[in-house]
Amino acid sequence: MKQINYIILLFSSIILLGCGPYSFTGTSIADNIETFQVNYFQNSSNLVEPGLDRDFTLALQDLILNQTNLSIVNSGGDLVYEGEITEYRISPTTAQANSTAAQNRLTIGVNVRFYDKNEPEEEFEQRFSFFFDYEGSAQLIGSQKDTAIEEIFERITQDIFNATLAKW
């Protein structure tokens, strides 16, 4: 009976301690990292969509808050995200016989600078972008525009998260 208890204790220890400081979201955050800040992402694209800068900043903050146990601060964060929206473009992707677009694409690009005050070698500047395709006969307004932006932001913010905290 003692041997069975010993084996159960051994396996429990391996399972609980053997995985290291990883979370269920795949992050590997050092113990000395407690806070993050997301500075306002200005919209410097040629085509400016009102409120896009605010919405992106909030989307990135929300993703990090929801997928980590880090606290958000306005200044002096252990991790700092900053940058600008560099692209907001609508372009045709496929043409029809009558020289009209069968499908259009909304592309949003964001330039991100990431700073880690405890591990400066992890810092970088990188561009992230994603797109949303929609029917050429449709106008990108209302709920379709909201859906497009939401899907693009979901992908871009997850890519930023993966590059900075999941190290993918």
Q: Which of 66, 46, 90, 28 is nearest to 157 (CA)?
A: 66
Q: What's the pLDDT tens digit per position in 19-37?
A: 444 444 456 688 889 999 9
What would the mean pLDDT of 43-60 be, rounded to a whole number?
Answer: 96
What integer pLDDT is reported at residue 81 of this predicted model?
Answer: 98
Q: Which of 123, 125, 103 is nearest to 115 (CA)?
A: 123
What integer pLDDT is reported at residue 138 of this predicted model?
Answer: 85
What integer pLDDT is reported at residue 10 of this predicted model?
Answer: 43
Q: What is the distance between the alpha carbons of residues 28 and 119, in angstroms, rounded to a whole number?
A: 13
> To the nearest whole number, what is the mean pLDDT of the chain?
86
pLDDT at 120 over 90: yes
With contact defined as beta carbons under 8 Å apart, do 86 and 44 qualify?
A: yes
Q: Cα angle at 163 between 133 and 43, to 5 degrees?
A: 55
Looking at the chain, the whole-number percentage of residues with pLDDT higher than 90 is 68
Q: What is the distance between the alpha carbons of residues 146 and 143, in angstroms, rounded to a whole number?
A: 5
Q: What is the distance between the alpha carbons of residues 131 and 105, in angstroms, rounded to a whole number?
A: 6
Sketch the domain layout of the chain as residue ranges: 30-166
What integer pLDDT is reported at residue 31 of this predicted model?
Answer: 82
The alpha helices in the chain, defined as continuous H runs, are 2-17, 52-67, 142-161
CATH architecture, domain 30-166: 2-Layer Sandwich (3.30)
Q: What's the pLDDT tens digit per position in 136-158?
A: 888 889 999 999 999 999 999 99
2 CB neighbour count, 10 Å cutoff:
6
Of residues 161 and 22, more confidence is placed in: 161
